[in-house]
Amino acid sequence: MTVGEKIQFYRKKIGLSQEELGQKLLVSRQTVSLWEMDKTMPTVDNLVRLKEIFGVSVDRILSDSEETEEVCEETIKEKYEFEYSKPVLKELLRIFISPLLKKVIGSIVWCVFVLFMLNEWLESNSTIDGLCIGAFFIIIIGNIKSFVLYIKMWKKREPRLLESRCVYEIYDNYINITIYSDSEAKKRFKINISDIEKIYDHKKYFILQTLSDSFVVKKEDLNENSFFYTYCNKKSQKGKYSDPERKLKTISLILFICTIASLWFGLYCVAALSAINKYPIDENMWVFFVFIPIPIASIIFGYYLKNKGHKYLKNVIAGFIIATLLCIYGSFVFMFSDTVSHSDEAILNAEEILDIDIPVHSQINTHDWTKGTQSVTRGYIYYKSEIYFDSTDVKEFEEHIVQDEKWITVLPNNMVGIISPIHDSNYYDYFIIYNVDEKTFNKLPEENGKYRFINVFYNSKSNEMEIVEYDMEYILD
């Protein structure tokens, strides 16, 4: 037999397809096909890996000797059978979906908690709320979708599982698993002990987990000194940092959590920075770019895990999704940069028209509402200025507005309908409602028509002022 024929013989003997063998070797199905047709030869590294998978020596793979089905190099140490039933499947489904259900509930609780904390600790902001809700929606829907798809897949497999019987043959270095249906062998697996990802110890079952499959054994069928008990005891006795694979899993989990959390950290830092420097949320969105190295590190480590033959998709997929979201959110700083200015024009305009003195400010953010489509329910807004003062600069101003008749401290109910629709009047202590067309302060228009107004609102506790210029259609009752 040629080397290619040998590879094909041993592959079929352990019940692997060309694609499944390629996945174990981290090569393509086409590469395995070329080996079996003797058009190319495996590398030394691949030959060593083939030796481990097939459970035979490299010399045997490369030799010209003929192979027969009777070839058996080792004796069976243990042999068990397992059959599925409806009660068993129901119990196993509960075991398998428990982590998924916890993940769904955990994601919902975590998202609600973060959103609540942002609103409690920081000022509520529509941009931050929108970003949070959008990110939360993606994660929650993704988890729910995975949960539903798993249930559907399980229900689809149930009829086939009820007709199947698994036979486990345990050798020194590997386990042969044969799946029968109607007394006919449908599929065979040869699992090297080194390929076992984990054996989960549940109350009634051991669940053997490899990179691509799960297999179940009943505890009541096992010998006292069974391999499954020995394997679990050895794993539990290993030190936390003595197992290299455990280190990789720990790093993978930490990177995955940090990757997901980087989006929330970004949202929190943007909100916190805006509360400190008083700049609009949009201008602080560059902070998201600071967190991009975290998902990139997760992607790189994911591909490192792939080369090591471990699970890697979790890190790679999470890395790509979060990196994309961070880039999108970070780009807002460029997308909306022309809608906000920090010039004194709004203050100078209000001082000239209203004949008032506004103290020296520490920060002003003027939003140009004429760019883009407005979604306000009434009126048309030209600009809105948010002005912040230091407490030492407003003492004289606050003493003056108490005596200035232009400023009122109570907003009459009949004037609520003509103030700016984007104002929260309950937040402010002093008000000016100026009708530019009629040149009147804090009065309703005398006739029906469209009027231009300027609102100036001031909060003496937070030393904040808002100036809004807008048009409003007024109709007498």
Please say which residue of 311, 335, 359 terminates a domain. 335
The tens-digit pLDDT sequence of the chain (477 residues) is: 788 888 888 888 777 788 888 888 888 888 988 988 888 888 888 888 888 788 788 888 888 776 555 444 457 888 889 888 888 888 888 888 888 888 788 777 777 776 666 665 555 555 666 666 777 777 778 778 888 888 888 888 888 888 888 888 888 778 888 888 877 777 878 787 777 778 888 888 888 887 667 888 898 888 888 888 888 877 655 444 345 567 888 888 899 999 988 988 888 888 888 888 888 888 888 999 999 999 999 999 998 888 877 778 889 999 999 999 999 999 988 887 778 889 999 999 999 999 999 999 999 999 898 887 887 778 899 999 999 999 888 988 998 898 899 999 988 888 888 888 887 778 899 999 999 999 999 999 988 999 999 999 999 999 999 999 999 998 876
Mark whether 139 and 171 lie in a shared domain. Answer: yes
| Domain carrying residue 90 | 80-237
Mark whether 84 and 233 lie in a shared domain. Answer: yes
Mark whether 137 and 230 lie in a shared domain. Answer: yes
d(CA 239, CA 250): 13
d(CA 445, CA 443): 6
Please say which residue of 237, 272, 299 terminates a domain. 237
Domain count, the chain: 4
Mark whether 10 and 84 lie in a shared domain. Answer: no
Mark whether 255 and 184 lie in a shared domain. Answer: no
C-alpha distances in Å from residue 316, one per residue of 209, 325, 328, 364, 453 = 21, 14, 18, 42, 54
Mark whether 326 and 349 lie in a shared domain. Answer: no
Mark whether 104 and 183 lie in a shared domain. Answer: yes
| Alpha helix positions (H), 355-401 | 395-401
Mark whether 178 and 211 lie in a shared domain. Answer: yes
- Phi/psi for 411 (5° steps) reads -90, 115
Q: Say which residues have a Cβ less than 8 Å from residue 108's Cβ, sequence separation at least 6.
A: 140
Q: What's the distance, CA 62 to chain centroid? A: 48
Please say which residue of 217, 237, 257 terminates a domain. 237
Helices and strands per DSSP (H, E), number in the chain: 15, 14
pTM: 0.48
Mark whether 155 and 221 lie in a shared domain. Answer: yes
- Phi/psi for 208 (5° steps) reads -85, 120
